[in-house]
Amino acid sequence: MTDFDQDDIAAMRRENGGADLKRFMRDQLRAGVQRRDAPTAAALPPKPPGHRPGAWPSGTSPPEPRPSTHMPAAWGAALDDYRAVVMADDHTQLTSDQPCGCVTCQLTKEN
């Protein structure tokens, strides 16, 4: 019984001191909860035999990080070259009393 109007509700309030209206409302809530909590029809496929969630397959491991082929001195030289290129840009703030806002100029002034 989902089609009801004001006259039906008024009649339920009059009968049994409103107990019919309370029962009707409880039945409506119960039906809504059952519809909401009903299990879904689509079932998940079964897991393969021996499946362990979150683990690498037996006998394997994650790949190791590749070692760097460059020496630390080469990294330092490349960083110095990069800083020289960045500092070659036109930084008009370096000649004035105002500090430049770029990160490279700030690092240069700190060192």
- Greater confidence, 89 or 67? 67
> Which two structure tokens, joined as six digits, stand for 97?
């009393």
Report d(CA 59, CA 63) in Å as an integer: 13
Summarised one tens digit per residue, pLDDT across range 51-84 is 777 777 777 877 888 888 888 899 899 988 888 7
62: Cβ contacts below 8 Å, ≥ 6 apart: 56
* Distance of alpha carbon 57 from alpha carbon 101, whole angstroms: 52
Q: What is the mean pLDDT of residues 28-49?
A: 77
Q: Is the pLDDT of residue 41 over 80?
A: no
Q: What global pTM score does this model have?
A: 0.29
